[in-house]
């Protein structure tokens, strides 16, 4: 059955999220490439860190969706930030990450 034909079927949200995650991991053409997502997160964080001298404060609020938030969290931890743990980010929840010294 073609994917296009599946658009008329209702799928439980958890199954939909799971299928999307598998599609991303397996680099299905309907999903953004995993390596591109990781590179996009690195570029975004590089931009924030490079422009910190232009801000009058040291805090940044990032609003994004859960899947990208997981990629950002991984990259932040890799860069030495310390922050909240989560397996599935909750809607409207604030997660704080600070640079470890």
The full set of domain ranges for the chain reads: 1-31, 33-101
Taking alpha carbons only, the member of 96, 84, 99 closest to residue 49 is 99
Percentage of the chain exceeding pLDDT 70: 90
Model confidence at 76: pLDDT above 80: yes
CA–CA separation, 101 vs 82, rounded Å? 10
- 22-55 pLDDT, tens digit each: 777 777 777 677 788 899 999 999 999 988 877 7
CA–CA separation, 26 vs 98, rounded Å? 32
Model confidence at 7: pLDDT above 70: no
């Amino acid at each position: 059955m073609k994917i296009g034909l599946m658009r008329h079927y209702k799928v439980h949200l958890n199954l939909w999220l799971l299928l999307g995650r598998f599609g991303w991991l397996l680099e299905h053409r309907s999903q953004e490439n995993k390596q591109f997502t990781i590179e996009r997160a690195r570029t975004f964080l590089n931009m924030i860190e490079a422009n910190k001298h232009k801000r009058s404060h040291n805090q940044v609020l990032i609003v994004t969706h859960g899947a990208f938030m997981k990629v950002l969290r991984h990259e932040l931890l890799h860069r030495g930030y310390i922050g909240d743990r989560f397996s599935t980010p909750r809607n409207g929840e604030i997660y704080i990450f600070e640079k470890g010294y």
